[in-house]
Structure 1
Amino acid sequence: MSASAAMPPGTTRVVIALGTAQTLAWASSYYLPAILAAPMARDMGLSPAWIFGAFSAALVLSALLGPAVGRAIDRRGGRGVLALSNLVLAAGLALLGVAPGPIVMAAAWLVIGLGMTMGLYDAAFATLAGLYGRAARGPITGITLLAGFASTIGWPVSALLEDAIGWRGACLAWAAAHLLIGLPLNRLLVPPAPPPERSPAAADSGGPPPPRFAMPLLAFVFAATWFVTGAMAAHLPALLQAAGATPALAIGAAALVGPAQVMARLAEFGLLRRFDPIVSARLATIGHPLGVAVLAILGAPAAAGFAILHGMGNGILTIAKGTLPLAVFGPAGYGARQGLLSAPARMVQAAAPFAFGLLLELAGVAAALAVTAALSLSACAALLALRPAAARLAKA
């Protein structure tokens, strides 16, 4: 039976609701500092680095709390956790909007970090695993397709709001959006998960267990690829300029990452869904190294090619973060396992912009890209040690 045939009525509604809520959650949290850090710092007489430091602390807190949130979703389903995330994110954004100084602002970012661990992809993926079991791959891909536009929507909206009502008003407007849009979507359109012990969708299909090294292997894969993602997200335009591209070419090429991610997710939704998620993830990990090779051989004129190849790989890796644990371990205990697997990746992601920037400054473009390419290839090698579920069943 195909994944689509196994889907109960109302799945499309759930995917649209979660995809829209995820777009809002990412736009108003993870993508917020890129637009508001500078005016926020200017208003408070701080360096923008201070704002990004508080944001990094929020990411670290999110990593530490991930396993506990995952266990809560495993026990009770994700609807309540996702709805609560909208209240927490609204509170954090409101506190940020009225913060009189750096101490309150740092506290606000920590509240937002709590909301992020309750309301971003990990929580949504665990919710879908509880609802649909192994058949959750299609819905996971669906919500990443919609939320792939979070930066495309969020950055212009934040910029428009900041221009019209200031950065404080922008924070308050995003807080209101969580209460008026995100909360109803998560609370009213996401069904409660069936009890885990009675859920036919969540039951494992049997077969030989995964190898003992599967957990540390996947944790390494996610940490390595998230370092590359975090580094490129923070430095891509500057990196391309350092490689010889003009400012216009660098910005134009960097803008292609988003469309390339969506293109790759469409391919995953159509062609690649016929293959095991491990196969898709292996292909995705070579996207960035291929882009590095193209840039190294052809130079700055190939900046767009580098951005597209990196973006396509990153687009599928976002899906793989949700589907790989499902394919390797099954849906039982998915939320807690996802939290454990994500913790090292989130820690690395928080450090990636600073670490890669330092590497770029001290060693240059070629050496910095050699490191990110090596990390991606090592993730591919790690995935080669894991066999698809079908292969394990055949051997059994």
Structure 2
Amino acid sequence: MTANDTGLIRRPVGHDESGSLARRLVWVFVITNTVGYGALIQTVPVLLLPMARDLDTSRTAIAGATTLAILVSAVAAIPVGTLLDRYGGRALMSAGSAIGVVGVVVCARAEDQPTLYGAFVLIGLALAMSTYEAAFAVLVVATEASGRDRAFVVVTMLTGLGTSLYYPLTGWLESQLGWRTTLLVLAASLALVALPAHLWALPGRAAHARRIVARTGLRVGHAVRSVRFWLLLLGFVAQAGATSAFLVAMVTYFRDIGFSAGVASSLPLAVGLLQITSRLALAPLAARFGMGRVTAASFAIQGAGLLALPLAGTSVPSTLACVACFGLGYGVSVVARPSIVADVFGVAHFASILAVMTAPMALSRAGAPLGAVWLGDWRFLVAAGAMTLLSAAALIPVARRGHSTYAT
């Protein structure tokens, strides 16, 4: 193992010990991320109003709890990334699932705002330890470069569809059981599905060490001194904030402008459907035009959809078209960031580099929904659209540079 003056760590190149491991991880992560996001954070937009009424607080206060979870996730991202690079994901992701179960149960039992915020501290830890970021770090070590994008696409595509179904499902459960029992049902699903799956399927510390020794990659310090890192950071931070704002505020916005509760909670299905469509097309388009170009174009379309949405009013077809444009960019972003990071900076310190990017992205996700809920009308859509167009512009220079040679 050697290191040159560019900071590139060179390790012996090996073969994937088990192709079946990568396939198994893909399907396990589809299931656990769907259940994890569904239980931990995806249902908040649907439950926001009944939670605020029952706890005798404001919508902004409930949105503040999700902001706290994202801030906690940001703080935890860098140590979590370091541990993932060093030890792998089995113990960490299993512990994250357990913490998530406790957090959702505490949330369901909350009688006041401090207890609710304490629950979301635990939920933030669980998000950092057991969802996409950790899953990508495990996959990137277990999968060869030629199959990496395909693995990311399958996990994120099917998870995107599954989590979009949580909106109408949660709306129905809340109408039948109330928001507290709904959360207990979701906590039970997390305990019975995600926790045992992570314990069973993920490689342990020794298996991770055998695989990571065959990988190459830049050190974190060298990566963050590159111009490409900062362009990527700007692009994904701005897009993350805009996306988070819309996801948190969209159901409330649709209800405020005149849609029924059923229609408002069903419109987000278009996000899931376009996530699938965009990700199905992503691998061949990225192979032909480059992941950077495809991502920049998709962010531009997302921004246009957000800017046009206030003009749609209560027209269902026009609203669906705008939401679909949003879903296109959202679907691509989840796959594009780990793919571009692995291509540009390599695998040896992938989780740590991704975590350095994740922390400011999480801060953006945390702050933007507060602004969206505070504005509460079409102005937040214009701001989110402008942020997404800025993201597209930031990625254009990266797209022109092409791929790095540090992809293994």
Normalised by the length of structure 2, the TM-score is 0.82
What is the Cα deviation at residue 94 of structure 1? Answer: 2.0
Query: Hey, what's the Cα distance between the residues in 1 that align with 2:180 and 2:376?
Result: 34
Match of residue 258 from structure 1: 272
* Residue 335 of structure 2 corresponds to residue 314 of structure 1: no
Match of residue 225 from structure 1: 239
Query: Hey, what's the Cα distance between the residues in 2 that align with 1:292 and 1:165?
Result: 34
Match of residue 283 from structure 1: 297
- Asked if 2 retains the 8 angstrom alpha-carbon contact of 1:327 and 1:389, the reply is no
Match of residue 389 from structure 2: 377
What is the Cα deviation at residue 167 of structure 1? Answer: 2.7
Match of residue 52 from structure 2: 41
- Asked if 2 retains the 8 angstrom alpha-carbon contact of 1:294 and 1:302, the reply is no
Match of residue 170 from structure 2: 158
Deviations 1:47-103 (A, max 9, x none): 333222122111111111111111110001112211111111011122223334332
* Residue 218 of structure 2 corresponds to residue 202 of structure 1: no
Query: Hey, what's the Cα distance between the residues in 1 that align with 2:18 and 2:391?
Result: 32
2:186 counterpart (174, 189, 195): 174
Query: Hey, what's the Cα distance between the residues in 1 that align with 2:214 and 2:292?
Result: 21
Match of residue 230 from structure 2: 216
* Residue 90 of structure 2 corresponds to residue 79 of structure 1: yes
Q: Which amino acid aligns with 2:165?
A: I
Deviations 1:277-297 (A, max 9, x none): 223212221112343576689
Match of residue 338 from structure 1: 354
Match of residue 7 from structure 2: none
- Tell which deviates more after alignment, 266-275 or 29-38: 266-275
- Asked if 2 retains the 8 angstrom alpha-carbon contact of 1:70 and 1:335, the reply is yes
Listed as ranges, the gaps of 5+ residues in structure 1 are none
298 and 356 in structure 1: CA distance in 2 versus 1, 3 angstrom threshold: closer
* Residue 115 of structure 2 corresponds to residue 104 of structure 1: yes
Match of residue 39 from structure 2: 28
- Asked if 2 retains the 8 angstrom alpha-carbon contact of 1:249 and 1:303, the reply is no
What is the Cα deviation at residue 270 of structure 1? Answer: 4.5
* Residue 371 of structure 2 corresponds to residue 355 of structure 1: yes
Match of residue 195 from structure 2: 183
Residue aligned with 2:153, SS: helix
What is the Cα deviation at residue 105 of structure 1? Answer: 2.3
Q: Which amino acid aligns with 2:270?
A: L
What is the Cα deviation at residue 267 of structure 1? Answer: 1.1
Match of residue 95 from structure 1: 106
- Asked if 1 retains the 8 angstrom alpha-carbon contact of 2:217 and 2:349, the reply is no
Query: Hey, what's the Cα distance between the residues in 2 that align with 1:347 and 1:152?
Result: 23
175 and 310 in structure 1: CA distance in 2 versus 1, 3 angstrom threshold: closer
* Residue 84 of structure 2 corresponds to residue 56 of structure 1: no
Residue aligned with 2:354, SS: helix
Residue aligned with 1:259, SS: helix
Deviations 1:139-167 (A, max 9, x none): 11111011102433323333344344433
What is the Cα deviation at residue 352 of structure 1? Answer: 1.3
Listed as ranges, the gaps of 5+ residues in structure 2 are 1-15
Residue aligned with 1:386, SS: helix
Q: Which amino acid aligns with 2:389?
A: L
Normalised by the length of structure 1, the TM-score is 0.84
- Tell which deviates more after alignment, 301-310 or 49-58: 301-310
Query: Hey, what's the Cα distance between the residues in 1 that align with 2:177 and 2:252?
Result: 30
Deviations 1:7-59 (A, max 9, x none): 82242221111111000010011113223333333333333332221221111
Query: Hey, what's the Cα distance between the residues in 1 that align with 2:403 and 2:119?
Result: 48
What is the Cα deviation at residue 334 of structure 1? Answer: 1.0
Q: Which amino acid aligns with 1:380?
A: A
Match of residue 327 from structure 1: 343
Q: Which amino acid aligns with 2:232?
A: L
What is the Cα deviation at residue 306 of structure 1? Answer: 1.9
- Asked if 1 retains the 8 angstrom alpha-carbon contact of 2:243 and 2:384, the reply is no
Match of residue 146 from structure 1: 158
46 and 339 in structure 1: CA distance in 2 versus 1, 3 angstrom threshold: same
Query: Hey, what's the Cα distance between the residues in 1 that align with 2:115 and 2:312?
Result: 49
Q: Which amino acid aligns with 2:117?
A: A
- Asked if 1 retains the 8 angstrom alpha-carbon contact of 2:167 and 2:265, the reply is no
What is the Cα deviation at residue 133 of structure 1? Answer: 5.3
What is the Cα deviation at residue 109 of structure 1? Answer: 1.3
- Asked if 2 retains the 8 angstrom alpha-carbon contact of 1:228 and 1:376, the reply is yes
The two structures, once aligned, show a CA RMSD in angstroms of 3.3
Residue aligned with 2:19, SS: coil
Query: Hey, what's the Cα distance between the residues in 2 that align with 1:7 and 1:275?
Result: 31
- Asked if 1 retains the 8 angstrom alpha-carbon contact of 2:298 and 2:332, the reply is yes
Match of residue 141 from structure 2: 130
Instruction: State the identity %.
Output: 25
- Asked if 1 retains the 8 angstrom alpha-carbon contact of 2:103 and 2:123, the reply is yes
189 and 231 in structure 1: CA distance in 2 versus 1, 3 angstrom threshold: same
Query: Hey, what's the Cα distance between the residues in 2 that align with 1:296 and 1:108?
Result: 34
1:116 counterpart (114, 127, 146): 127
